[in-house]
Amino acid sequence: MTIKHSRMSLFVMLIFLFALSLSAGATQINYTELEHLFKEPVTVSATGKPQRVSQSPVSMDIITHDDIRRSGAIDIPQILRRLAGIDVSRHYKGQSDVNIRGANQPLSNRMLVLVNNRQVYMDNFGMTLWHALPIHLYEIKQIEVVKGPNSALFGFNAASGVINIVTFNSQWDNISNVTLRGGTQSHASAAVVHTVKPTETMAVRLSVKGETSDGFSRASMMPQPTENDAIEQSAFNIDGVFNVNNISDLRFEIGESQQETDSTLPFHTPALLDTSTRHYKLDYSLKHHGLWQLQLYRNEADLEIHTLRFFSPGNNPPSKNALNVFQLSHLFSPAMEHTVRFGLEHRKNTIQGRDIAPEGGSFTMDVSRLSSMWHWQLSESWHMTQSYSADYWNTKRTGSFSLVEPVLSLNVNDYDRSESEYSYNFGLVYEYSPLTQYRFSAAKGLHVPSLMELARINSQPTLGTESYGNPTLETESNTTVEFGFRRKLSRHSMMLESSIYRQQIENVIAGTAYGFTSFSGIPIGGLGGSLSDFTFENVGDTYITGGELSLQNDRSQPFQWRINYSMVAHDDRENANPSHYVDFEETVPKHRVNVLLGYDWKQWEYNLDAHYVSSLKNYQATVGDPVVTRRQTQVDDYWILNASVGYNLNDRVRLSLDGFNLVDPHQERFSYTITGGSSVGGSNKIDSAVLFSISVDLD
Amino acid sequence: MLSFCALLIEIVKLARNGLLEALVLKYLKPLVGTFIWLVLLSHMPARAGSITEPDLELMIRSLGYVEQFSENSIDSLFVVFDPAIKRSVNEAKAIANSPSVAQSFESIFKITLSDFLENESVKLAFITSSVSDQSNKIYLHAKDSHVFTLSTDKDCVLSGACILSVTTKPALEIYLNERTLSDLGFDIDPVFKFMVKRVGRER
């Protein structure tokens, strides 16, 4: 601990010395000011270069602070559902699976999620606990959604896309607010965000939030080993900026969150997740011959799982995951038509605990990467962007473990492994006119197996199961070719966007399960040490063909509308392994239609969003029985209708009545059966909810 | 609005009875057809207009990214026009009457090109359209007198007479002539540079 702290202190001192030795220039990227200047959101998530969204070479959307505020949404998946190409499936009030352009599944892990460029995607299971993010929706400046692979810029796991949540910068944005909310399902939540400027060169924003709520329908919930509510959550975050001098800033973040919620784990396992996260971040920006950025952060996550499957109910010791990241980048223009970015990154990911090393020890993954980006303005109408990344990763296990009789032959040396990978992004943009843009892009993204997929060890002979990771898993890759089009219809203040794409996901990582060894077709579980096995394997490739069409009017109009349609078609080409839990052809809805309407009248704001999702099939979870089942059930197509009415009492106080899923209680994900004793079946239906909130802006 | 709702209903109907899947999923022809339609749509002519208040607001905001002006604010704006050219005169009037310009500068002076070329006290000059035909003279004088030149006429930047041009119709565009910027001795925020169209001309 002492060594860790002294290293950190040394880093900070070096940063200060470097900064103080320079002079002349300006400071960090001011998103708010640039948005006012260009009359549209700006982003660095497309290529690493500051860009207007309308000029990015990738397909992307930005959800603004105002979109979030008007929506009345209580979590981010609810807002993401509005976008074309985003697949959102809600299991519980506190858990949703989100993926971009198909290939969605429980604990979707192909999409990287960041908050201010800090990874909040958790490497243990490869998941994002949206509800547990230690930020309040009110402090979000914008949510940047990049569709398609972007590993060349962000590294592993930006395989299907990236969501970067950008919060306000306390240096420029004085955000202070109190929000109280209550309603059906015994929902009660409170959040306070407050910005202070103790000195002229320093600004700090503090946010604290807490929430408690039942699930949508307790009667239909999976029986839990404890009597907890569906969600209990609390978090705080401190986000400060220190203006070192007129060319450099030091931004720091410290935060913590605690959450207890129902969740679905791999193999469609319902569970109660008890999660505790902490993070510490330093982000130093310098404007000197371009833009330099140095980012250091540490994420810690303790995860406690309670389920009737794989684990004994009761007090289980948590698995502990720690991620340390060092990132350095330099963006500059060597010549007028050229912009270049170089990046260097190292990350160390360690997990320990009962799920990884029941007899002590740990599993570690180190990743080093070099990346580059080159933007070339070929002419006034054409520009091209190329990004490349070379990644080197290695893994190591310490401590011993034992399994009774795994189907996969595991060798302890398999855990000491190193691999090299590469990824790229290529984008060519043709601006036919100031209003019309054509895009062509090709990209390869990488999804490295999660720590659990590689190294999980859980043997439960008394329950008749063994669950373990597979250290020989190959990295999954996503190669995408896309053609896009963007047209501003100035006469009607409308924007029309469209894209068609083809993706190939190679070496799909999936849970595989093997039943008891049998005699003449009769299972002999529990006899002779025979166990059912739950593990992970590369099960083949899937090809995805899809398209998106989106039309919207200018957001500054009193009457706002937006409509989009997404189509996605999978073609699974599996290898000869019949034991896997993946079937994208059937389990991902093919069609989605989203309609958003908004109207402002005097102090009133009316918002309505409707979503149509076509039917799908899904796997059926089994509880209380370790026998392998891969039965599928039909999930009918469904509508979601959300409506929000806001009344601005004055410039500072806003009252809001928000209704969710008002027309159609429906099932979005799995069905379940409980066997043993009396056999029970059912599904988790997403019910309606109505919440009332009061929001007060403070001075 | 009605046609918009009708379209939505039709899409949902098609999706419900499986026709959409048959049409879109298996053959992809409608997608291709949509793209052809989009391509045709993209060839609708774009409208351009004269100088507007949003253009001037954009101009004023852009000046905030010039290092010399962010450190020391500038009080006076000189609008260079040609009395013989109606468009130039109208632009000069529009700027002089602009509320946002009036709010940002203590003094706004309309000045003819010939007067501008003889005046060494000008530090910030807006070059109206058509006047930029005299680009070489403007450039040389701006260089000698350290004048920041800007316009809503892209050609002024392309010719090298102006450092910056801004326009909001038909789409928001900012052009920056880096060579002129450097020759005239000004610096601009690197983030701003990364986000605008940068041009340069050998002189």
Query: Average pLDDT in the A88-93 region?
Result: 84
Residues of B in contact with A549 (CB under 8 A): 34
pLDDT category of residue A299 using cuts at 50, 70 and 90: very high
Among the listed ranges A63-72, A220-229, A428-437, which one has the minimum average pLDDT value?
A220-229
Q: How far is CA A540 from CA A105, A537, B87, in A?
A: 16, 9, 66
Nearest to B58 among A37, A489, A561 (CB): A37
pLDDT at A413: 86
pLDDT at B34 over 90: no
Residues of B in contact with A435 (CB under 8 A): 42, 46, 170-171
Phi-psi region of A223 (alpha: psi -120 to 50; beta: other; left: phi over 0): beta
Contact by Cβ (8 Å): A478, A505: yes
Residues of A in contact with B198 (CB under 8 A): 336-337, 377
pLDDT at B39 over 60: no
What is the SS3 assignment for A288-328?
CCCEEEEEEEEEEEEEEEECCCCCCCCCCCCEEEEEEEEEE
pLDDT category of residue A267 using cuts at 50, 70 and 90: confident
CA-nearest residue to A496 within chain B is: B38
- CA A390 to chain centroid, in Å, comes to 23
Among the listed ranges A167-176, A555-564, B2-11, B177-186, which one has the minimum average pLDDT value?
B2-11
Among the listed ranges A148-152, A191-195, A340-344, A460-464, which one has the minimum average pLDDT value?
A460-464
A580-617 pLDDT, tens digit each: 778 898 889 999 999 999 999 999 999 999 999 999 88
pLDDT at B199: 87
Q: How far is CA A252 from CA A279, A285, B113, in A?
A: 10, 11, 52
pLDDT at A90: 86
pLDDT at B141 over 60: yes
**Better-scored residue on pLDDT, A118 or A617:** A118
Does the distance separating the beta carbons of A40 and B191 come in below 8 Å?
no
pLDDT category of residue B52 using cuts at 50, 70 and 90: confident
Q: Inter-axis angle of helices A31-38 and B53-63, to 10 degrees?
A: 150
Query: Average pLDDT in the A557-570 region?
Result: 93
Does the distance separating the beta carbons of B21 and A591 come in below 8 Å?
yes
Query: Average pLDDT in the A559-575 region?
Result: 92
Residue A47 burial (C-beta neighbours within 10 Å; 0-12, 13-18, 19+): buried
- What is the C-alpha to C-alpha distance for residues A97 and A121, in angstroms, rounded to an integer? 12
Size of interface A-B (CB pairs under 8 A): 119
Q: Does the pTM exceed 0.90?
A: no
A155-183 pLDDT, tens digit each: 989 999 999 999 999 999 999 999 999 99
Residue B26 burial (C-beta neighbours within 10 Å; 0-12, 13-18, 19+): exposed
pLDDT at A185: 86
pLDDT at A9 over 70: no
Among the listed ranges A60-69, A197-206, A252-261, B38-47, which one has the minimum average pLDDT value?
B38-47
pLDDT at B174 over 70: yes
pLDDT at A664 over 80: no
Structure ipTM: 0.79
Instruction: Output b/e per residue, B118-128; b: 16+ Cβ within 10 A.
Output: ebeebbbbbbb
Query: Average pLDDT in the A654-661 region?
Result: 94
pLDDT category of residue A20 using cuts at 50, 70 and 90: very low
pLDDT at A361: 87
A441-489 pLDDT, tens digit each: 999 999 999 999 999 888 777 666 788 899 999 999 999 999 999 998 8
pLDDT at A644 over 60: yes
pLDDT at A642: 95
pLDDT at A313: 52
Mutate to test the interface with A, among B42, B65, B174, B180 (most CBs of A within 10 A): B42
Contact by Cβ (8 Å): B157, B175: yes
Provide the terminal-to-terminal Cα distance of chain A, rounded to the nearest Å.
40
Does the distance separating the beta carbons of A291 and B191 come in below 8 Å?
yes
pLDDT at A316 over 70: no
- List all residues of chain A from 41 to 60 with a beta carbon under 8 Å from chain B: 42, 49-52
pLDDT at A212 over 70: yes
Contact by Cβ (8 Å): A624, A463: no
A272-295 pLDDT, tens digit each: 788 999 999 999 999 888 999 999
Query: Average pLDDT in the A618-639 region?
Result: 69
**How much of chain A, in percent, has pLDDT values that exceed 70?**
85
Question: Residue B20: which H helix or E strand, with range?
Answer: helix B19-20
pLDDT at A641: 95
pLDDT at A117 over 80: yes
- What is the C-alpha to C-alpha distance for residues A101 and A544, in angstroms, rounded to an integer? 8
Range with top average pLDDT, A396-400, A542-546, B63-67: A542-546
Query: Average pLDDT in the A636-659 region?
Result: 94
A485 interfaces chain B, CB cutoff of 8 Å: yes
pLDDT at A368 over 90: yes
CA-nearest residue to B199 within chain A is: A336
**Better-scored residue on pLDDT, A532 or A672:** A532
SS3 A125: coil
> At A172, phi and psi to the nearest 5?
-115, -25
pLDDT at A19 over 50: no
Nearest to A487 among B21, B38, B178 (CB): B38
Does the distance separating the beta carbons of B193 and A380 come in below 8 Å?
no
Provide the terminal-to-terminal Cα distance of chain B, rounded to the nearest Å.
54
Average pLDDT over chain A, rounded to whole? 85
Instruction: Compute the nearest-CA separation of A50 from chain B (Å).
Output: 6
pLDDT category of residue A492 using cuts at 50, 70 and 90: low
Nearest to A621 by CA among A310, A274, A314, A264: A264
- List all residues of chain A from 618 to 637 with a beta carbon under 8 Å from chain B: 637
pLDDT at A393 over 80: yes
- List all residues of chain A from 14 to 33 with a beta carbon under 8 Å from chain B: 24-26, 29, 33
